[in-house]
């Protein structure tokens, strides 16, 4: 059933959004799996609905499920206590929330373009640790960012160093059917990052040649870095395994910036994409009103036919 038929604006404002977490969840003792509200698997993150659900991660996961979301992502999952990881995984399973990405390696941890063997081994250690986290929380994908540009190393050698490292990382992930997704970052927010463009990520994935090395296409980053979103996604579609959302400027929810998300999401839906779209953005307004605005924005841009 489509979201537009499932929850009307008036009901959305008058029901779950006006209830505190204790009331909402006391009435839902069995924590049933809700019917999907959206056409695609949008994945909120912790803190996005804290004013409605409270700061407890479990309450917030339940709130997300109550709104019809079917996925969740958590960049910080690798660094959370094991007991919390297990509790979150149990809640997600009960509520029908599919686990999206968490960060395995990011920027400073991933400076492998230099060819430094000690840095490469540290990179691979994070990958090994991430396998255990992925098993614990039922994750399939992990974000990997191969660090910054290496000073005094020619570009071709840098790429070779990155490809070699990612081949070794793929050997770690492949036996477990896990996928690291390489995230190109934009020059404005992350000056000096090695991986910036979708064609560059595509080239590297082809060189690594592993089902465990694919692209995370962050629409916010690539709007800034290269624009031409739909043709660029089309060009590297066979290597894209994960998508993230954020409008520009501001990196807030869709409808707050320049990106025509209704058309972009329709393209993704028409491609029969069955993966997750991480909501990696802030809320444009504070408090409960800002959280309602996020829900209304996704209702609006998901209304394509």
Render the chain in DSSP notation, one character per residue. Answer: --HHHH--HHHHHHTGGGS-HHHHHHT-TT-PPPPP-SSSEEE--TTTTHHHH-S-HHHHHHHHHHTT--EE--TTGGGS-HHHHHHHHHHHHHHTPEE--EEEE-GGGG--TT--HHHHHHHHHHHHHHHHHHHHHT--EEEE---BPPTTS-HHHHHHHHHHHHHHHHHHHGGGT-EEEE----TTTSTTBS---HHHHHHHHHHH--TTEEEEEEHHHHHHHT--HHHHHHHTGGGEEEEE---TTTSBSTTSSS--HHHHHHHHHHTT--SEEE--SB-SS-HHHHHHHHHHHHHHHT---
Per-residue confidence (pLDDT) for residue 31, from 0 to 100 = 62
Q: pLDDT digit string (tens) for 171-184?
A: 999 999 999 999 99
b/e per residue 47-82 (b: at least 16 CB within 10 A): ebbbbbbeeebbbbbbbbbbbbbbbbbbbebbebee
Ranges under pLDDT 50 in the chain: 1-27, 29-30
137/167 Cα distance (integer angstroms)? 25
156/1 Cα distance (integer angstroms)? 50
Q: Give the C-alpha distances (Å, rounded to integers) separating 298 from 218, 229, 255, 261.
A: 17, 19, 9, 9
Per-residue confidence (pLDDT) for residue 76, from 0 to 100 = 97
Contact 298, 42 (CB under 8 A): yes
294/288 Cα distance (integer angstroms)? 10
Which of 265, 272, 277, 273 has the alpha carbon at shortest distance from 302?
265
Per-residue confidence (pLDDT) for residue 11, from 0 to 100 = 42
Which of 94, 149, 104, 110 has the alpha carbon at shortest distance from 131?
104
Per-residue confidence (pLDDT) for residue 4, from 0 to 100 = 41
Which conformational region is residue 230 in: left (phi greater than 0), alpha (psi within -120 to 50 degrees), or beta? Answer: alpha
Per-residue confidence (pLDDT) for residue 24, from 0 to 100 = 45
Token output for 231: 């043709």
Per-residue confidence (pLDDT) for residue 20, from 0 to 100 = 42
Walk me through the domains of the chain, giving residue ranges and CATH numbers. 9-301 (3.20.20.150)
Report the DSSP beta bridge partners of residue 179: 141
Token output for 168: 């070794």
pTM for this model (two decimals): 0.89
């Amino acid at each position: 059933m489509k979201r537009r038929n499932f929850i009307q604006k008036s009901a959305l404002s008058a029901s779950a959004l006006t209830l505190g977490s204790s009331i909402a969840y006391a009435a839902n003792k069995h924590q049933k799996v809700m019917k999907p509200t959206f056409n695609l698997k949008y994945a909120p993150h912790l803190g996005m609905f804290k004013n409605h659900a409270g700061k407890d991660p479990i309450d917030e996961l339940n709130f997300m499920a109550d709104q019809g979301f079917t996925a969740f992502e958590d960049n910080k999952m690798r660094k959370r206590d094991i007991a919390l990881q297990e509790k979150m995984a149990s809640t997600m399973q009960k509520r029908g929330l599919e686990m999206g990405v968490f960060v395995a390696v990011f920027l400073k941890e991933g400076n492998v373009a230099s060819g430094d063997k000690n840095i490469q081994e540290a990179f691979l250690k994070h990958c090994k640790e991430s396998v255990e986290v992925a098993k614990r929380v039922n994750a399939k994908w992990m974000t990997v960012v191969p660090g910054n540009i290496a000073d005094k190393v020619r570009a071709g050698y840098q790429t070779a160093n990155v490809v070699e490292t990612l081949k070794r990382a793929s050997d770690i992930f492949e036996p477990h059917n896990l996928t690291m997704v390489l995230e190109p970052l934009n020059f404005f927010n992350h000056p000096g990052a090695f991986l910036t463009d979708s064609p560059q990520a595509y080239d590297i994935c082809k060189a690594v040649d592993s089902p465990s090395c694919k692209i995370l296409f962050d629409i916010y980053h690539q709007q800034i870095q290269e624009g031409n979103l739909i043709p660029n996604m089309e060009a590297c579609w066979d290597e894209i395994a994960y998508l993230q959302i954020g409008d520009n400027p501001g990196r807030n929810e869709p409808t707050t910036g320049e990106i025509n998300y209704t058309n972009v999401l329709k393209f993704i839906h028409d491609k029969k994409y069955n993966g997750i779209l991480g909501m990696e953005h802030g809320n444009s307004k504070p408090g409960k009103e800002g959280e309602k605005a996020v829900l209304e924005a996704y209702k609006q841009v998901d209304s394509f036919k």
